Amino acid sequence: MNTKEKRDAIIEYAKKQILVDISTLGFPLVKTSDRFRSNYNLHDDALQYVLSVYSKHGYMLTPIGVDLRNEKVMVLNVLPDYMVERCDGSSNSSDNNTIFCFDLKAKSDIKYFGYVNKRDVVSYRRLADECDVKVYVIFINIYKENNVIRIKKIGYSNILDKPIRKERM
């Protein structure tokens, strides 16, 4: 599958996301907690860092994951944050590394690197299989000091590596 076909397959796959009202699932809402919101702040800061690095190196980034943090829904077939393409003019290349997807997991401590919700792992692996695309999970240990983002450690894993490190529900 060339890059254009792969891009089209990912976009079509993204249109199939299924949203479920959390209140119908029978467990309490966590999205309202301060901790939940502060984790998203950490994620947003880390994501800005990663996006700037990819942009500086000539990659085109397309958001494919839907941000539903303020909605009372859960996505059953979760998508990674971004689809990434090299901007080297070889859009018809069959090189598997020309296009890939990534999801970012910001962690307050390196001991949490590798932790990914099982639902995410299953969804990302399905995307990788169905669209013949590599999907990476990027782990970043990040903190803010005097309103400046500091990166302590960065790691990543191909979602097809089994186990990714630890899967948890």
- In this prediction, residue 119 carries a pLDDT of 83
Q: Which domain holds residue 149?
A: 3-168
- In this prediction, residue 65 carries a pLDDT of 83
Rounded Cα distance, 67 and 165, in Å: 25
DSSP helix/strand/coil, 22: helix
Domain count for the chain: 1
Residue carrying structure tokens 């990914």:
116
136: left (phi over 0), alpha (psi -120 to 50) or beta: beta
Which one, of 24, 41, 45, lies nearest residue 150 by Cα?
45
Strand 73-75 with 19-21, pairing? antiparallel
Q: Consecutive sets of 10 residues in the chain, 169 residues long: mean pLDDT of each? A: 89 82 62 62 88 93 82 76 80 62 90 85 93 94 83 88 55
